Chain A
C-alpha cells in the first residue's frame, strides 16, 4: 500500500540555520503531497502542498518540490526561527485519505 517515510527526529537547530526534513513516498499514480505542522496541544495546520510533478509548494519561508523521479518532497527553510519549533508531517493523498509519515520534531534554539 501507499506509504510515506520521513527522516527521524528530533532535529535540533540554532536560530537562522538552514532546515531540511527529508520525505519520500511510495504510491500508485501521482498523489498530491503535503506538509503539515502541529504545535503542542493543537491539531494539524497545512503548511504547503503540491499536486503534480515539479510543482513547488511554498509558505512562510518553507518550500518543498514534488520530485517524481526520486519520489521525494523534502521540506526546506533558509533560516529557521524559534517559533518554527513544532512537529512536521509529510503526507500523500491519492484516494481521499491522507497517508502520513511518522512526523519529525524540530527544536530551534535561540
Chain B
C-alpha cells in the first residue's frame, strides 16, 4: 500500500515568489492536513481538507492557502514568500480526520532566499 506522497522533496524559491506543494494521500483516505515545521516554532497546523472542503484552519496569514481535489489529492500554495516561510511542510492523510491520527508524508523542504 503506497504511503503519503509529497512533491517536490526540496524547493528553493526567491522572496516574493509563490510556491505550490502537492500531497497525494493514501488510497481511500479522504482527509488531508498540512503542517509547517520550523526550528523556532516547531510543528504548527495549517489546515485540514475533507472531501474537497476546508474543515479546519490554523493561525496563518492569508498568503497560505490550500485546496483538495475530487481524488483527495491536495495542494497548498504560499504567495509572496518571506524568508520566514522556510520550513519543512508536512502533510498527513487519514480516512476521516477528526480525532484520528494521520499518516505523514516525508515532507517538502522549502528554502526561501
Contact = CB atoms under 8 A, between A and B. Distances in A.
B42 A96 contact: no
Given A43-B90, A51-B99, A98 B56 contact: no
Contact of B103 (A46, A94, A95, A97): A46
Interface in A1-42: 31-32, 34, 36, 41-42
Q: How large is the interface on A (under 10, 10 to 19, 20 to 34, 35 or more residues)?
A: 20 to 34
Contacts of A89: 43
A59 to B, nearest CB: 12
A41 B37 CA distance: 12
Interface string B24-38: 000000010101000
Interface of A: 31-32, 34, 36, 41-46, 49, 51, 89, 93-103
